Every structure is written in structure tokens, then in C-alpha cells.
């Protein structure tokens, strides 16, 4: 049996299913699906770090950077094409994670996690203090073109934006899938398992951590960029503040790191639970989320992804 073929097919079906959902689901559900995909990209980025045995409590920073890259390019540079805006957010995520990677790659465990948190708090502070960046109010954007197409007066959530988000996420999932299966990706498993042996094998440990970190930061920035296209607004509080990063880690742990589908399902699960819980139990929804995490940890210690886990023969 050829597993490679199966995984790619599964991904195609996954994307196809969500694209088709456009014609089947009500608007509010589609909106939640889109938002879940934006967040899911950040979780996908965290998955790469989890493969190394690392957690970042500050990935909201890249989410925020990607989002502000879109909002600022739109407002200051007058760029209105979604594709360009997204390319800018990816570039920003790439460059910043590349630069910071030289610093964070030297740390492990709780130090790595907290260092990222510290960096995201600095970014939060900078934005809040900068009037030209909208301070705590953030930024808004108006109509966006998708490959030159615009639906005047239409809602932000339209067939263009929807399929743009879903398909782009699918492409990213396939990249991550390819990476994790590649020789380079297997070095992450080795480093997580035994850093001493990895070094003695000649694995360039820090370089691999750096690479995964860049990939991870870039995915998170893309998620933030797409979120701004969808929501039309960004504030530092909803992105770079530590509670958002905490939420990402929460969903990442709930999802597990077994495969690239887990982060997306985890994000979908979380967003839907939250919106329903908020609606029916407005005052106790955090409690419900907490109980779900406990159940998840007990019954699915390897995360939501383990539902689809192939058994070792």
C-alpha cells in the first residue's frame, strides 16, 4: 500500500470537501470555517515546533505581524490585491522569523516558550504605543480584489475570499506534509528524541530548529494576513496579546502533532465549540473549553490527530 498516495488524496478530498461546503453551509458557519483555517495555519506552524519538542507561547506575534503587514500595505501603500497583500504578509513573517531565529534557536523547553512570549509582548507594547499604527484600536481595511475580481458592496466573505483561504491553506498543508516526510523533516524527530545523539550523528541541530522556526513563523503570519482579509480589521489585543498566543498553544495541544490535518480539525473544533458555547453558555464557556481539554488529554493524549492515526503493523 502506498501511503504517500493516500495522504495526498486525503488532502485533496479535505480541500474539496470544504470548497463544496460553500454551497451547503449557512453564512455564519462558513465564517467560522474561514476563521478556523486562519487560526489553523498558526497551529500548523506550532505543529512544526512540537515535532521538535518545542512550544512557543508567543506565536500570536507572527499572527499579528502578518495581519499588520496586510492592513498597513492596504492603508499606506494602497495595495488592494489580496494575492499581493498575502505575499507581503508571508515575506514579513519570513524575514522576522529568520532574524529572530538566530536568537531563539539557542534555547529549549520553557526558555524557548517564554522567550517567544517576551518577544510578542514587546511587539504588543510597540503597537499600543504607536499612534500611527492605530494604537489599541488597530486598523481596518475596505474592499479587496481577488485576482482582479471584486464584488462591490458584497460581504467580505464571498466565494473568492472563501476559496482563497481554503485553497491557500491546502497548499500550505501540502508543503508541511512534504517537509515532514522529507529527510530534512525527519531530523526534527531525531532532535526531539535525542539532541545529544543528533549532534553526534552530525545533524546541524540549531540550523534545523531555525528552519522549522522560520517555516512556523511564516505560516502564522499567513494566518494573520488571511484573518485580516476575512475580518477586515486587526487590533493588537486580538493578535499579539498573550491570551491569543495561549489560545493557539491550547488548540495545538488539543490537536497534537501527528499529521497536518490535526491542526485544522483542532481549530475548527475549537472555533465551533467556542461560538456555540458563547451563544448558549455566555458566562461559562471557558469552563466548557477547559473540560474539553481535560477529556482530550485523558482520552486522546496524542491529540485529535490520533483519531486518524495509522496503526503500526
Partner 1 sequence: MLLDVKRLCKKFGSVSAAKDIDFSMAKNEVIGVIGSNGAGKTTFCNMITGYTKADSGQIFFNGKEITNLNVQEIKNIGIHRSFQIPQVFENLGVLENLIITDLVSNNNQNSFLEDAYTEKNFIKAINLLKKFSLESFKDKLVKELPQGARKVLDIIIAIIGKPEIILLDEPTSGISTNEKIVVMETIIKAIKKLNIAVIFIEHDMEIVEKFANRVVAFYNGQILGDGRPEEILKQKDVVKYIVGSSHA
What is the contact surface with partner 1 in residues (CB under 8 A)? Answer: 4, 178-179, 181-187, 189-190, 193-194, 196-197, 199-205, 208, 312-313
Query: What is the greatest pairwise CA distance in the chain?
Result: 61
Of 186, 242, 244, the C-alpha closest to 212 is 186
* Closest distance to partner 1 from the beta carbon of 291 (Å): 29
**What is the Cα–Cα distance from 261 to 306, expressed in whole angstroms?**
10
Q: For partner 1, which is the closer residue by CB, 80 or 178?
A: 178
* Closest distance to partner 1 from the beta carbon of 51 (Å): 12
**What is the Cα–Cα distance from 87 to 34, expressed in whole angstroms?**
19
**What is the Cα–Cα distance from 180 to 19, expressed in whole angstroms?**
25
Q: For partner 1, which is the closer residue by CB, 130 or 194?
A: 194
Neighbours of 215 (CB within 10 A): 22
* Closest distance to partner 1 from the beta carbon of 224 (Å): 25
Q: For partner 1, which is the closer residue by CB, 196 or 294?
A: 196
* Closest distance to partner 1 from the beta carbon of 74 (Å): 33
Backbone angles phi, psi at 149, to 5 degrees: -95, 140
Q: Are 228 and 239 in contact (CB under 8 A)?
A: no
* Closest distance to partner 1 from the beta carbon of 300 (Å): 18
Q: For partner 1, which is the closer residue by CB, 210 or 274?
A: 210
* Closest distance to partner 1 from the beta carbon of 236 (Å): 34
Q: For partner 1, which is the closer residue by CB, 121 or 205?
A: 205
* Closest distance to partner 1 from the beta carbon of 187 (Å): 5
Q: For partner 1, which is the closer residue by CB, 191 or 253?
A: 191
Q: For partner 1, which is the closer residue by CB, 142 or 312?
A: 312
Sorted by sequence, the CB contacts under 8 Å of residue 92 that are 6+ apart come out as 65, 66, 69, 221
**What is the Cα–Cα distance from 139 to 261, expressed in whole angstroms?**
32
**DSSP string for 208-275:** HHHHHHHHHHHHHHHHHHHHHHHHSEE-STTTTSHHHHHHHHHHHHHH-SSSTHHHHHHHHHHHHHHH
Beta strands in 43-126 (DSSP E): none
Amino acid at each position: 500500500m502506498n501511503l504517500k498516495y493516500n495522504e495526498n488524496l486525503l488532502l485533496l478530498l479535505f480541500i474539496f470537501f470544504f470548497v463544496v461546503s460553500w454551497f451547503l453551509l449557512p453564512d455564519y458557519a462558513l465564517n467560522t470555517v474561514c476563521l478556523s483555517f486562519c487560526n489553523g495555519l498558526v497551529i500548523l506552524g506550532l505543529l512544526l515546533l512540537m515535532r521538535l519538542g518545542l512550544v512557543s507561547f508567543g506565536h500570536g506575534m507572527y499572527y499579528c505581524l502578518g495581519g499588520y503587514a496586510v492592513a498597513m500595505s492596504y492603508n499606506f501603500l494602497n495595495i488592494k490585491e489580496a494575492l499581493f497583500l498575502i505575499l507581503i504578509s508571508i515575506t514579513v513573517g519570513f524575514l522576522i522569523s529568520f532574524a529572530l531565529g538566530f536568537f531563539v534557536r539557542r534555547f529549549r523547553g520553557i526558555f524557548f516558550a517564554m522567550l517567544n512570549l517576551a518577544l510578542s509582548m514587546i511587539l504588543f507594547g510597540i503597537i499600543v504605543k504607536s499612534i500611527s499604527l492605530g494604537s489599541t484600536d488597530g486598523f481596518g481595511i475596505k474592499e479587496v480584489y481577488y485576482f482582479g475580481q471584486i464584488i462591490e458592496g458584497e460581504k467580505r466573505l464571498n466565494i473568492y475570499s472563501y476559496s482563497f483561504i481554503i485553497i491557500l491553506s491546502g497548499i500550505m498543508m501540502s508543503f508541511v506534509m512534504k517537509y515532514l516526510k522529507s529527510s530534512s523533516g525527519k531530523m526534527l524527530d531525531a532532535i526531539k528524541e535525542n539532541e545529544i545523539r543528533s549532534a553526534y550523528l552530525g545533524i546541524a541541530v540549531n540550523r534545523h530548529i531555525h528552519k522549522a522556526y522560520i517555516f512556523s513563523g511564516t505560516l502564522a503570519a499567513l494566518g494573520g494576513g488571511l484573518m485580516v482579509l476575512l475580518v477586515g480589521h486587526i487590533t493588537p489585543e486580538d493578535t499579539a496579546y498573550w491570551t491569543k498566543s495561549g489560545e493557539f498553544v491550547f488548540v495545538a495541544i488539543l490537536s497534537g502533532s501527528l499529521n497536518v490535518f490535526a491542526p485544522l480539525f483542532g481549530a475548527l473544533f475549537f472555533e465551533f465549540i467556542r461560538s456555540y458555547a458563547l451563544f448558549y453558555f455566555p458566562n461559562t464557556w471557558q469552563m466548557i473549553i477547559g473540560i474539553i481539554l481535560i477529556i482530550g488529554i485523558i482520552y486522546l493524549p496524542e491529540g485529535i490527530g490520533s483519531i486518524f492515526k495509522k496503526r503500526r503493523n
